Amino acid sequence: SAVISQKPSRDICQRGTSLTIQCQVDSQVTMMFWYRQQPGQSLTLIATANQGSEATYESGFVIDKFPISRPNLTFSTLTVSNMSPEDSSIYLCSSRIAGWNTEAFFGQGTRLTVV
């Protein structure tokens, strides 16, 4: 597997502001996935990010609210824009080594609290 370094690990933000979360992988990966985990809940996929193309968003998530960058094969960012208290969650990036029968590995998560 590979290692993903995610930062910040936590932040407390004012409503109306934006926060950018960064994930750095120690090897090249094709796809990176961004998840949201609301308090006490499971992981919900926000979007899939492929290098060199626009991210693909899941139903209920839009680019204006969660813009994603994927400038190269080892790095991605997720921005949570115009935050409200409902955006308070843990945000996780994930990836897999390309190929069949490979497991996903995760960053440490970003615990976001919007006040």
Question: Which residue ranges make up the site for another protein (CB under 8 A)?
Answer: 1, 6, 9-10, 30-31, 33, 41-45, 48, 50, 59, 92, 94, 96-109, 111
Residue closer to another protein, measured from CB, 29 or 80: 29
Minimal distance in Å, beta carbon 53 to another protein?
12
Residue closer to another protein, measured from CB, 16 or 54: 54
- Here the tokens at position 49 are 């990010």
Residue closer to another protein, measured from CB, 63 or 82: 63
Minimal distance in Å, beta carbon 60 to another protein?
11
Burial class (CB in 10 A: 0-12, 13-18, 19+), 96: middle
Minimal distance in Å, beta carbon 1 to another protein?
7
- Here the tokens at position 34 are 């961004």
Burial class (CB in 10 A: 0-12, 13-18, 19+), 65: middle
Q: What is the DSSP letter of 100?
A: S
